[in-house]
Structure 1
Amino acid sequence: MTVRRRWIAVPVAAVAALVLVAFGVRDTETSWSSAWATAVQYPIYQNWSAMGFSDQTVRQVIRLSQEGPEVRVRLSNRYGEYPLPVAAATVAASAGGAAVVPESVRGLTVGGRSSFVIAPGGEMVSDAVRSVGAQVAITLYFAQPTGPATQHGQALATTYRANGDHAADPSAAPFTDTSQSWYYLAGVDTLRSSTDDVTVAFGDSLTDGYRSTPDTDQRYPDQLAAVGHHGPVVNAGISGNRLLTDSTVLGDSALARFRRDVLDQPGVGTVVVMIGINDIGLSGSTGPDGVVFPPVSTDQLITGFRDLIAQARAKGVRIVGATILPFAGSAYFSPERERLRTEVNTWIRESGAFDAMVDLEQALAAPGDRTRLADGFDSGDHLHPNDFGYRAIAMVIAPALAT
């Protein structure tokens, strides 16, 4: 498939004169912890991102993994080619669907300004506001054309859109359009309320939670708290992502985005790496971006993992490696690809290269058949777990995080 984009020019006169955030500018205070995050991607035609927004309000509902007395919001224009004008922004307690609790609505500002502009390739960190609880609605109004939007494709959560300015409107009524992606939203931080470090779940669709039940927070990082893990956990998975190869559809490679999506998260102490199945499954074939991916070798994958390990240790971040799940019966499967998976998993188990290892293959494989997901954990495509499978992953990972 060939990916085409139609870029929309944003008139310079429509953009506020002051661009507040330049590429790479971040608050480095150590008192903040990431409480929710997502990995941003290029605009695509499968959602609202290719066209962007104009005189529209977008409301996105997320659940924080840890609360604190104050919160701040991170917005990203990483893949934008034009300055991004945000005319108004609010944060509020979700009341279900697109509705918010009226008395909880708080305006978001940057440097005290209620409207601001994010430079192309840049990221914005809002001023702090009082916490509104764990279930948070972040609402953005774009008065002027934004151009194509930086986004996260597989949110598995409903995003709402309204015409006109409804940033401070508590009602759900104007929000008649829905999407299953996130737009411009990169993270939410809280002031530290404990000494627990942040754990970043890093990987592909198995971390992103693909084929879990939408709007129920059944991804494995969400379920870690339910099985006993204490401390914030944020999700840096991208569906289809690969360890070694960049893609405009499947995201920058794990190697390219590891610093941004893991090591730059405020308060990070541990990362769980679960990636490699797409490198193997697309080896020697054409990806959804229309690019032919050459055959991958075990040595190449191991070299990639060693690169992630070196990056993590250089920053003092503990790195946990997860074996690659069984995939027999899926569209990816072949004997040669199974050989690759087996060899990589053997290295993950036996090399001692990671600070800790979790054997997800052993935990989720069918009895007597290590090549196939157990029926009770299979979503039906023989590649992705169902809600019970994601719970099983969380149950295996939680003890490794406590060690």
Structure 2
Amino acid sequence: MRFLRSWCALIGVLAVPVGMAAHTSLAPATARQTLPAASPAWSAAWMTALQQPNANQNWSKQGFANQSVRQVIRLSAGGSDVRIRISNQYGVRPLELTGATVATAAKGATVVPRSVRPVRFGGADSVTIPAGGQAAGDAVTLPGLTSGTRLAITLYFAHPTGPATFHEFGATGASYRATGDQLTNGGAAYRETSGGWYFLAGVDVNPTSTVVAFGDSITNGYTAAPGTRYPDLLAARLAAAGRPTPVLNAGLGGNRLLTDSACYGERGLARFHRDVLDEPGTTTAIVLIGINDLGYPEIAPTTCTTPNPRITPAQLISGYRVLIRDAHARGIRIVGVTLTPFRGASVYTARSAQLRTAVNAWITTSGEFDAVADFATALADPADPTRLAPKYDSGDHLHPNEAGYRVMADAVDLKTL
């Protein structure tokens, strides 16, 4: 089990469009399936890949009741206005959100004094979101929003939510919990913490082009300090080149392209629409996924990795072709990324190594992606290309360290974005 937890830390359904009903009173709003026709254009400046509740050490199974949850996120772009998106994607009943605020984050759960702003939904203080639905808050004006700004988003649930739609292994932020309505509390009330994000799907700013990095825990940034995941570092490169562009992180720890997991989310084929194509402003997707598809069959099956079918290169390639087709149907460019070395990890066998070689050969030579980023070569040990170079190895022989994430960001040709 110890190995499984580290491996999982290693490494559907179609989303409904975000929407709100128009309201003029302060009665609770009810989320609908489409945005109002007069809604202004938005682009995502932060998002996370959502998953169903699980039995790990987090707050997803029990949900919340008469509790406030403060969640700290880091914007990838700024703007004059901001809005939040709340998801009940995996809920089994309507979600009653009693109130919400947004503020500039300070240290821990504290917020910058006088920065707290209420969030309304179609003019109402509260909103009810049906099972499987999402709701977008009204625009909030908050001065000083730039790339790298840390926001504290606080949600208050007066009534039991049931199990929570969430994201596990949040590497660049934290969630804090307090009893009662603590929407405007400066931070002292928040004495419990969790590494995940709960019900929070995205944060949008004024319209711009957006890049989405799609993948598993390597994209999600396992071992990475805040701001040092490869998508964060790629966004910094773009800004330094005079092309400030949000790079969103749609990584999900333990995720597979072809197979669902009770612990690590729906297969990539199912969540690609919600996490990439439906994100406001997406123009380019960067895809790094498949190592778990190759690796899980090489370990003893568990409840988290079952079903655990052995796959062929042709099956994985067929999955990539679905992503390419669907991206192109939306006019979105898609960049393929070679699967990174993992010799020395427990999932490494002669079979998984051969599969990686075959899949990488197709990624680099087929010409079916619009462009290719060769992370495998960038991270490889020159003395043994099946291994991560020691200077880029976090220690588990699968996940890069901070220097490795930086090399990954540098391996992306900015012209392809």
Q: Is TM more than 0.5 here?
A: yes
Matched, 1:149 2:164: yes
- Alignment correspondent of 1:10: none
Map 1:3-402 to 2 at 5 A: 20-22=30-32, 24-26=33-35, 31-46=41-56, 47-132=58-143, 133=145, 134-156=149-171, 157-169=173-185, 171-192=186-207, 196-213=208-225, 216-229=226-239, 230-283=244-297, 285=299, 286-289=301-304, 291-397=306-412, 399-402=414-417
CA distance in 2, matches of 1:305, 1:290: 21
CA distance in 1, matches of 2:331, 2:115: 38
Does the aligned pair in 2 maintain the 1:65–1:232 contact within 8 Å?
yes
Give the direction of change, closer, same or farther, for the CA distance of 1:337–1:375 in structure 2 (3 Å limit). same
Q: How many Å apart are 1:289 and its aligned residue?
A: 2.0
Q: How many Å apart are 1:41 and its aligned residue?
A: 0.5
CA distance in 1, matches of 2:36, 2:412: 30
Over 4 Å off, 4+ runs: 16-19, 26-30
Report SS of the residue matched to 2:152. Answer: strand
Backbone CA RMSD of aligned residues = 1.8
Q: Which runs of 5+ in 1 are unaligned?
A: 2-15
Give the direction of change, closer, same or farther, for the CA distance of 1:398–1:61 in structure 2 (3 Å limit). farther
Give the direction of change, closer, same or farther, for the CA distance of 1:381–1:400 in structure 2 (3 Å limit). farther
Q: How many Å apart are 1:62 and its aligned residue?
A: 0.7
CA distance in 2, matches of 1:357, 1:83: 42
Deviation sequence 1:62-118 (CA, Å, 0-9, x none): 111100111110010100111111111000011121111121111001010011111
CA distance in 2, matches of 1:271, 1:288: 31
One-letter code of the match for 2:217? S
TM-score, reference length from structure 2:
0.88
CA distance in 2, matches of 1:270, 1:305: 15
Q: How many Å apart are 1:204 and its aligned residue?
A: 0.6
Deviation sequence 1:39-67 (CA, Å, 0-9, x none): 11001122001000111110011111100
One-letter code of the match for 1:357? V
Does the aligned pair in 1 maintain the 2:29–2:121 contact within 8 Å?
no
Equivalent residues, number: 381
- Alignment correspondent of 1:5: none
Q: How many Å apart are 1:292 and its aligned residue?
A: 3.4
Q: How many Å apart are 1:30 and its aligned residue?
A: 7.0
Report SS of the residue matched to 1:97. Answer: coil
One-letter code of the match for 1:119? P
Q: Which runs of 5+ in 2 are unaligned?
A: 2-25
One-letter code of the match for 1:234? L
Give the direction of change, closer, same or farther, for the CA distance of 1:320–1:377 in structure 2 (3 Å limit). same
Give the direction of change, closer, same or farther, for the CA distance of 1:30–1:113 in structure 2 (3 Å limit). closer
CA distance in 2, matches of 1:287, 1:352: 37
One-letter code of the match for 1:127? D
